[in-house]
Amino acid sequence: MGFGDYPAEYNRAVHGPYDPARFYGPKDTAFSELKLNEITAWLGRRNKSPQSFAALCSRAWWRWQHKYVQPKRCGIAPFFQLTFAGMFMFYCINYKRIKHHNNYKYH
């Protein structure tokens, strides 16, 4: 699978039009439906390659796009989400400099 190709599991005759927010691989139990003793086996079945992580991030991005950005009347939610995500990211980046700035009431 090269850059920009369809996933190997995708079949147009079976799945219809391609949706970038959908996982076309084999179905598995959802994480929320697992019992505690099944978690290690479930994690063992995951593909842990960098390519699968990039595909996961791409699917998450497109799900967010389809839900919040691309509807006709999307509202202001995606702008606030991006703003707060940026604020959190820059707070994490600058935390080492910020943590020493303590405000004390008494000297």
Could you read off the pLDDT of 63-96 as tens digits, one per residue? 999 999 999 998 999 999 999 999 999 999 999 9
Q: List pLDDT tens digits, range 26-49.
A: 888 999 999 999 999 999 998 899
pLDDT computed for residue 82 by the predictor: 95
Does residue 101 sit within a domain? no
Q: Domain count of the chain?
A: 1
CA proximity to 21, closest of 81, 53, 61:
61
As given in the structure block, the two tokens for residue 7 are 């996933």
Does residue 93 sit within a domain? no
Domain holding 46, by residue range, is 12-75
pLDDT tier at 105, thresholds 50, 70, 90: confident
Does residue 45 sit within a domain? yes
Does residue 58 sit within a domain? yes
Does residue 56 sit within a domain? yes
CA distance 39 to 44: 9
Does residue 87 sit within a domain? no
CA distance 7 to 51: 11
Diameter over CA atoms, the chain: 74
